[in-house]
Amino acid sequence: SNTLEHTSESIIGRHPSATTASFLGAIDEVRVYDHALELGEIQAAMRGSAALSSSLNPKHDAIDVLRDRVLGWKPGEFAAKHNVYLGTSFEDVNSATVSTLSDLDVNSFDPGRLEFGTSYFWRVDEVNGTPDKTVYRGDVWSFEVEPYSIEIPGTTIAVTASSSSNEFSVPQKTLDGSGLAADESHSIGPETMWFTASVDLDSWIQYEFLDVQKLDVMRVWNSNSSAEMAIGWGVKDVIIEYSVDGENWDAMEEVSQFSRASGSPTYGQYDEVDLGGLAARYVRLDIQSNWGGILMSYSLSEVQFYMIPAAARTPEPASGSVDIAPNSTIGWRAGRDVTQHVITISTDVNAVIDGLANSVTSSTNNLDLNSLDLQLGRTYYWRVDEANEADAVSVWAGPVWSFSTVAALTVDDFESYNNISPDRPFQTWLDGFGYSADEFFPVGYSGNGTGAGIGHDIWSLSSSYYDDDIMETGNTLPGSSQSLPFYYTNTGGVASQTERSFSATQDWTVGGAKTLSIAFFGQAGNTGTLYVEINNTKIIYPYDAANIAKDAWQAWNIDLSSMDVESVTTLQIGVDGSGASGLLLIDDIRLYPEPGK
């Protein structure tokens, strides 16, 4: 459990507009969660089941789950071990007493490769670490694995044909779902179907996808007008041709024959043609005959195409995202059975489209941008080409995505500090007073020997900030909710200084950063000379020293271009000058790409 920072008044048991705080009744327990609860978690909380597993991943009833997904969950409060049950039957998992895997000491489970399009049920029983080894039975959850192939939306397919009977029965009717019900039955209305002209001596219909697809199956609902059994417009024999460029064509080896529709409103028997994973951007049906054999006119109701996802998709971050750190990691959903990923990235969108930009390879479906030396404040375009030598198409080009890098990197925005340990500002920005030992800091700190004091005095009865906020909330930069109070009193010629050590070494050249910007706000009567130290290299404020007494937000922009800042471990802010004293507010400390900006 954690201590909640007091940010506003919370009222339980009375109307907010009531004038008194009296409450008649009893409250047993109050909880604040660190995430939005799902329905199942709310129900579990009402049962008082903190000992149960929760926050499952994937979520309950999730669909399109990767077939090699690792299952995870948040352990129960007292759990030492976990027993996992997994199966394709709710009844089996719900009643199971022998677990799929028992005595797990981690809150994750790799079930191996799962079956396409299959619903799975799973349960996690939590085993207490107490001597009695109490087992808390978990709820049964479910998810559905991704399908083997995915329908290509009809709205993304262009269609042309040899002819149309009228302005209503056009070839687009085979793609728009008109007449197709949820139960996959098709209506008898001719306006929901494609009909050729009354005489069409060379009848065909052609479909064009946005790009080359790895096709799995084609589903065809034949012509189903009320007169179908009498006239027989429905297509019978057809040659299926395909092409990647619209110029060079291949035909499937056998002539296909579509089944005849019934001419009934309940007709729902589509034909499914196995396309075997062939690569094509164009598919053309060359019609050889119809079922009636009377008229040289032909018709189809609906055509659907399903593709095996061979190209990269679902980028992370989403295309068009902004404020992305130049040293973050990007990822994507990999194409099926890919052996290598080729990532092209550039600020030139045309270079990415044409494949002329520099590229890198990865064996995983993610890439650490730190290796690419991306710059701050730029828009980047990127594409992932999926390679698989076993496919007829060895490289599947992906779509072009984009993201924009953040304009500046934040060293500290002072938003995370509050009155409660371990988040008190002087526990990070060390001062002359130090802090006492507690559960988070077993060893206290006696202070740095200077006259610096970080944060408002909220403990002294005589302080105007007594029992208030340790951070300054009334005077901040626009868009900021709080700033850091830095009190200083120099005695005996000693400067006042606060210092921060970074737990992980920081590279202040990332993204082409060349400027350290520190926002500060003075007040009348402040004296002394401001300075900073980066890795113990001292930099004195070069502008008018009187700025320290200005009651306005100012930026001190420090040119880093000639400094060694690839491995920054410490940053100090201080004020020199014998007898100097005052109060500074410090807000956003950021890194910018332009020198001196």
Residues 429, 431, 437: CA angle, nearest 5 degrees: 85
Residue that terminates a domain, selected from 111, 145, 179: 145
Same domain, 441 and 578: yes
Neighbours of 352 (CB within 10 A): 21
Residue 174 and residue 161: Cα distance in Å, rounded?
11
Pairing of strands 108-109, 101-104: unpaired
- Say whether pTM exceeds 0.95: no
How many Å from the N-terminal Cα to the C-terminal Cα in the chain?
43
**pLDDT for position 463:** 96
Phi–psi pair at 155, nearest 5 degrees: -70, -15
Please list, residue by residue across 243-263, b when 16 or more beta carbons sit within 10 angstroms of its beta carbon and e when fewer do: bbeeeeeeebeeebebebbbb
Q: Is residue 96 part of a domain?
A: yes
Same domain, 155 and 266: yes
Same domain, 366 and 503: no
Same domain, 455 and 567: yes
Q: Is residue 34 part of a domain?
A: no
Residue with tokens 């207490």: 128
Same domain, 576 and 432: yes
Cis peptide before 111 (omega within 30 of 0): no
Cβ pair 163, 266 in contact under 8 A: no
What secondary structure letter does DSSP report for 491? -
**pLDDT for position 246:** 95
Residue that terminates a domain, selected from 250, 274, 307: 307
Same domain, 90 and 187: no
Same domain, 141 and 210: no
List, in order, residues 6 or more apart from 414 with CB less than 8 Å away: 425, 471, 480, 482, 483, 484, 586, 587, 588
How does pLDDT run along the chain (597 residues), one tens digit per residue?
Answer: 455 555 555 666 665 555 555 666 677 667 777 677 766 556 656 655 555 667 788 999 999 999 999 999 988 877 889 999 999 999 999 998 888 888 888 999 999 999 999 999 999 998 887 777 888 888 899 999 999 999 999 999 999 999 999 999 999 999 999 999 999 999 999 999 999 999 999 999 999 999 999 999 999 999 999 999 999 999 999 999 999 999 999 999 888 999 999 999 999 999 999 999 999 999 999 999 999 999 999 999 999 999 999 999 999 999 999 999 999 999 999 999 899 999 999 999 999 999 999 999 999 999 999 989 999 999 999 999 999 877 778 899 999 999 999 999 999 999 999 999 999 999 999 999 999 999 999 999 999 999 999 999 999 999 999 999 999 999 999 999 999 999 999 987 679 999 999 999 999 999 999 999 999 999 999 999 999 999 999 999 999 999 999 999 999 999 999 999 999 999 999 999 999 999 999 999 999 998 765
For residue 256, give the CATH number of its domain.
2.60.120.260
**pLDDT for position 255:** 85
Same domain, 294 and 175: yes
Q: Is residue 392 part of a domain?
A: yes
Strand partners, 381: 346, 402
Give the count of domains, the chain: 4
Same domain, 299 and 363: no
Residue 118: give the domain boundaries: 39-145
Kind plus residue range of the DSSP H or E element containing 228: helix 228-231
Cβ pair 64, 137 in contact under 8 A: no
Residue 192 and residue 57: Cα distance in Å, rounded?
43
Q: Is residue 32 part of a domain?
A: no
Same domain, 321 and 281: no
**pLDDT for position 45:** 61
Residues 578, 582, 583: CA angle, nearest 5 degrees: 140
Q: Is residue 30 part of a domain?
A: no
Pairing of strands 379-387, 401-405: antiparallel
Same domain, 509 and 361: no
Cβ pair 549, 526 in contact under 8 A: yes
Q: Is residue 173 part of a domain?
A: yes
Q: Which amino acid is at 49?
A: S
**pLDDT for position 1:** 44
Q: Is residue 22 part of a domain?
A: no
Show the tokens assigned to 453. 């004091």
For residue 134, give the CATH number of its domain.
2.60.40.10
Same domain, 55 and 138: yes
Residue that terminates a domain, selected from 377, 406, 435: 406
